Amino acid sequence: MNKYKLNIVSVLKNSLRIYIRKIISKLPESLRSFEYSSALRKYDKRAGNYVKTYQESLKEEVIVDGIIDGYPKRVFMKEAYHKHLNWLSSEIKNLGTSNSSLLEVGAGEFTTLIPVAQLINDTSLEIHASELSWSRCRVGIDFAKSLGVEISSITSASVLALPYPDNCFDIVYTHCCLEELGGYEKEALEELIRITNRDLILIEASYELGSKIQKTKLFNRRWNVNLFSAAKNLGHKLIKHELTPYWVDQGHHASIIHIKKLTGESKSPYKLVCPETKNDLEKDERFYFCKTTGIAYPILQGVPIFLKNNGIVASKYLDFDR
Asked whether the whole model's pTM tops 0.85, one would answer: yes
Our CA angle for 184, 308, 315, nearest 5°, is 145
Residue (of 3, 12, 14, 69) closest to 247 by Cα position:
69
Rounded Cα–Cα distance for residues 53 and 34 (Å):
28
**For 43-260, CATH number?**
3.40.50.150
The CA–CA distances, whole Å, from 133 to 23, 36, 124, 130, 190 equal 26, 11, 28, 9, 21
Alpha-carbon distance of 159 to 270, in angstroms, equals: 17
Detail the DSSP E strand segments found in 132-272.
153-156, 169-175, 196-205, 237-243, 254-260
Provide the pLDDT for residue 61. Answer: 83
Residue 43 CA from chain centroid, whole number:
12
Instruction: Say what the pLDDT of residue 17 is.
Output: 53
Tell me the domain boundaries of the chain.
2-31, 43-260, 282-319
- CA dist 127 and 104 (Å) reads 8
Q: Are 257 and 228 in contact (CB under 8 A)?
A: yes
What's the CA angle centered on 249, arms 191 and 52, to 5 degrees?
80
Per-residue pLDDT tens listing for the chain (322 residues): 554 554 565 556 555 655 555 554 454 444 444 456 677 888 888 898 999 988 888 887 889 999 999 999 999 999 999 999 999 999 999 999 999 999 999 999 999 999 999 999 999 999 999 999 999 999 999 999 999 999 999 999 999 999 999 999 999 999 999 988 878 899 999 999 999 999 999 999 999 999 999 999 999 988 999 999 999 999 999 999 999 999 999 999 999 999 999 987 899 999 999 999 999 999 999 999 999 999 999 999 999 999 988 899 999 999 887 6
Task: Quote the pLDDT of residue 41.
Answer: 84
Q: What is the model's pLDDT at position 31?
A: 41
